[in-house]
Structures are given as structure tokens and as C-alpha cells.
Structure 1
Amino acid sequence: MFSFFKRKPKEEAATAPAQPAAAPLTAAAAPPASLPETASADSQPVLSDAAPEQKRSWLSRLKSGLAKTSSSLTTLFIGARIDDDLYDELEAALLTADAGVEATLFLLDTLKKKVKDEKLTEAEQVKTALKALLLELLTPLQKPLELGRHQPLVMMITGVNGAGKTTTIGKLAKHLQVHQQSVILAAGDTFRAAAREQLAIWGERNDVTVIAQESGDPAAVAFDAVASARARGTDVVMVDTAGRLPTQLHLMEELRKIKRVIAKGMDGAPQEVLLVIDGNTGQNALAQVRAFDDALQLTGLIITKLDGTAKGGVLAAIAKTRPVPVYFIGVGEQIEDLQPFNAQEFVDALLQ
């Protein structure tokens, strides 16, 4: 079920620049027998017999999580006339769904042009056209997480308090193990004892080493974790960091320091800088993406908690104003509730 990581083909990996003094690739970095080597982004992984049922369950939960927004959008087209009133109601619905002003105006202007050019006369045709535009807007955000390119792959995980960052790290660690990747976790949130304890619990649950200190410099913890991974030939290092608001400038500077120190421990690291976002925070999520991207040059996003009051439109806002790839989305607390972002599935859930 968790076949969502794009693995670098052997021949491409062989020509990639070697990391200075990095440990050689271990056997664990080779593709598992159950998964084909991915030659292109279009290659499809082999799924287990239980995958179709699990997939249906996942899609059902995603649709349920986005049901409120879906209802407000789809009901507009029931028996509607294609006129200014429909466009006004659609504008209000998109703004309420957290799509933001820029994405909303872009979608409306493009939709009106499409309706005119294609001479659409039925409301259902307009709805289909809107789905196509949303899919076109969101598809560039869809990107797989690659394994096997770096040894180790160092992932720095950031986000504000309450976004589900530490829990997400635990889920990802388990998924990586399913793909035969050895993992080390770095408890870089040295300000909050509960965060270290929570990460330690995930480490015990997944039988993963956790590098931690009772107190001290989080950058030093990250450095030690990278050094340990290189010495052991570990495949992936995941560095937890303290949750903070983008307005806390001194703490944002500390994140920059952690990133610099990691780079000293391994040239080119961290290769992935991920921001975990609570899907319920609406336009605040876009502000977080801007701030953390400006500070750290994000490589990907993980959007959690799309299982309650989340409106989902914020992905459109992100795609239009700060198109950082969305690696994963989450709809619940279970490990299987975190899945790779698929634009087609998301749009289908949003406009059922």
C-alpha cells in the first residue's frame, strides 16, 4: 500500500556526483524485490493484493475530510444557469474554501474564457471545466520522494507547534522501513521535553535509533545524527526541529543554523527540507509556506489533518503563489492515513 517513493534508477544513480567521504550505498538502498526500478515518473509500483481495498478506504476518508468544501462547490452547479450570479457564488465558495484571492481570480478568469471559447451551455459542463483547471493548477505540486540518490538522505522537518510534525516523522519512518530503508531520528526539538519523549516512543515502536540530548544545541544533535548515520551506513536521517511561528525571527534564525551545521556534517545535506502544515489553518498555511521557504528554501510540503474542518482550497493558493511540491497529505492518525499527494484524487474528492 505504501509504494509511493520514486527510487532512482541504478544507472542514473551511478552517474550522480558522489558525496565527499560519504559511506557507500548499502544493500538496503537497492529496490525491494516487490517493487520495480522506476525508470520514469510514469512507472507504476507493484501493489499487494490488499492494496485496492486499502486504496478505496483511503479515498473514502479523503472525500469525507473534504466533504464540506465539496458540497459548497458542487451544489452551485445543480440546475444552475451560466451567468454572473453563478460566477459570483463560485468566487465566494472558492474564497471560503481558502483558495485565496490570486488563485480564485485566476480560476474564474480562465473558466470564463474556457466557457466562452468552447461554447459551454450546461452547468455540468462548467463544473467539468473547473475540475480540469484545478487539476492543471495542482498537478505541478505532485512529486514523488526519491530514495537511493544520497547516502544518507538527510531530511530536515519543520513546522509550527500543533501541525503534527513529530507524529508525521514517526509515520514516515515506518513507511521508509517498509521500503527497506534504515532510519535514524534526530530529536532536534530540545526545547520541549514532550517532543523528545514522543519521538522516542515512535523510535521504540519502529525499532529506530533516536539521537537526543536532555538539553543543548539542536544543531549539535542534528550534526551527531548525520555523523552517526554516515558511520553506520544508515540510509535516511530525519531531523525533528522545534515548532515555531514564522514571526519568531530568532527561532527562524536557529533553523538556518541547524541547516548550516548539517551541511558541515555532510556536503549537500540536508537534501530535503520539509514543512508540515495543518490543513485546518487556511490562509495561515500559505503564510507559513512563504516564511519557511524564504528562510530555508523548502523542497517539499506535508499537509496533515485533512479529516475534519479542513477546506482544501489552500493547495490552490500554494500552487498559484508559492508552488512548493506536496509530497504527502494526511487524513487521520493511523500510519495508513498518510499517503502521497495525487492531484487527480484530490480534485476528484474536492469536486465529486
Structure 2
Amino acid sequence: MIPYGRQDIDQADIDAVVSVLQSNWLTQGPAVPAFEKAVAGYCGAEFAVAVNSATSALHIACLALGVGPGDSVWTSPVTFVASANCALYCGAQVDFVDVDPATGNMCPQALADKLAVARQQGRLPKVVIPVHLCGHSCDMQSISRLAEEFGFQVIEDASHGIGGSYQDHKLGSCYYSDITVFSFHPVKVITSAEGGMATTNTPELAEKMAMLRSHGITKDAAVMLRPDEGDWYYEQHGLGFNYRMTDIHAALGLSQMSRLDAFVAKRNELAADYRLKLASLPLKLVEPLSNSFSARHLMMVRLDDSHQRRSVFDAMRARQIQVHVHYFPVHLQPYYLSLGFKADDFPVAEEFYSCILTLPLYPGLNTGDIHRVVSTLSRLVM
């Protein structure tokens, strides 16, 4: 089987994890802040807050920005459900913005049109969450301009995107946003087994997220009501969660950071090989904007004939090639249908979904694997 994605673990990663296991700190030790410092430094952000998943990071990012009952959060319908669920966790409402048919990312014009109507109705969103599908950046400059005009805040869901950049800024720099969220799931660009991180340039947001990830507890004497108690003392200043990342996970993530650029370079090299070999087939590649550099988490194509997608998918799987589909539109999930969404609410997203196929892409893939994938696909679509 050629999987669609796979982690790349070397001896240095194993040694890093074993070192923590042999230390006095399995959690709440030095590995987590070291990982946070490495990610913040790489991205060019002032602060990074590590958590146990990108879903947790999205949740506390919304809470740190004050999302709650009566608020609305908008995101893309072409994403994993966590991008929308995070707002519901806060008691807010969720809505979606249709996508650009070429990239599958949030369409700035669709966003502008929806905002204009929402302003007339007095229903502007508090937060917008653009999703960098495949690791390809959204048009963040346009979205940032709309944020200034309409007064919403921005969380970049860069779960696919660490190692990528937009214009001259690394994803995670928060140059065009308030907070950026990363995922370190095993199929992502780097992994901590499970884990996520939020970056920001605003100290208050970093402090809020750090407190929320650990039960709402602080030991900061500057804010405590009883700062003269002993070192054993702590105070709960909010209703938080146990979203902490362990030192075991952080050690793996920190070790992987040393190979991040190599992973991204290899992914882009493999994507270029795909591009060359797929050129004659009846499909289009989902490619990044010309002013961005993609982390290439996913190798996504759009079949010219959407009616072929199911048969192609099944035949590729039968031939031990694990193609995938990312993603079934969130607004069509049964739970979201129960909230009042319906088919044709976001027609571009639905059309995009109908013809997309994700091909295998990960650093351990080789040219022979790509030849096998493309030759098999060619026989099925030609």
C-alpha cells in the first residue's frame, strides 16, 4: 500500500523522545517551551502556545478573542470539521464563505459580498477563520483588508501549512492575522504524534491561551489575588481546559523542526514531479497562489469528469494506492444540516468537492511510487 500521507521518523526523533522518558519531566517540563520557542522563531512570531491538538488550539484561539454566545464565526466549508466546531464550543454561531474554484480556499470576493450583506443586516462576524487547504496560503492580504474595513478578527487555520509562506512572510508570522494555528498530526508536514500550536504577536492573547490550555490556572504573582502565598499556591482565573502538550510529544516535535525545511523541499520536489507526469491527463492540479510558497501537505487534483471520481477512487484503493478526498463540505455534514444548512448553500464548494482527489504525498515517497500512482490513474481516466 502507498498511503496518502505518512510520518517520517528518524533515530534523532527516537532519541529525543527516549531522553524525555529517561528524565524527571514527562509533562510540564522544559521540552514544551523549547518547542514553542523553536516554532515562534521559525515563523517570525512573538509567541507560541503548544497544546494537545490543533482542534484545542482553534478552541482556545476563539475564546482568547472573546468569541461567545451571540457571536458569529465564519470559515471555509472545504475543511475538516474542527475549523467550524471550535466556534460552536464557545456557544457562537457558525457560517461559511464559498471558495475559489481553483484553490478551494476562501474566496475574498465571496467574503466581501457576504460581509456587505451582513453589515446591512447587523450580523457581521466576530472572527473569520480562513483555511490554508493543502498548505497553500489563502489570499491573506485581501482578507486582512476586509478585516480592517468590517472590524472582524482573523484566525488562520494553517493546520496544513507549517513551513509555507505568503508573500515574504512565513505562515504563522501572524502578519495578516491575530492568531495562526498549526497541526502536528502524523500525516502533517511535521509531527508530534498528536499536537497543535497557536502563534500570535499579541502578549495578551498568548497569556489567555496559555491559561485556557491549563484549567484557567495561573501562578503569575502580578495577577494573583494572594501573591504572598507559598510556591505551592496557584489561582484559577477562568474556566479552562486540560489541553496541555506533554514533554514527550514536544520532544518529538522539536526534533522534527530540524528537518522541517528539508521535508517541505522534498514535498515540493515530489509535487513538481507529479506536475510533469500529470500534464497530459484530463485533470487540473490544485495549485498555490503565485505569491506564496506551499508546504505541500496534500497533492490534490480536480478530475475533469466528476462522475469518474468514485470509480477512480475505488480502483486506486483496490490497487493498493491510498488516494483520499479532502473534504466533504462541512455544511453538508448531518450535524450541520440539523443546524439549518442545506445543499446548494455554497455551490462552488460543493462543485469543488465533487471532483477532487488527493494523491499520495510524503517525504518517503520516491519517483517509482509516483510513476506507479500516475500510470494507474492514467489508465483509469483516459
TM-score by length of 2: 0.35
TM-score by length of 1: 0.37
Larger helix share, 1 or 2: 1
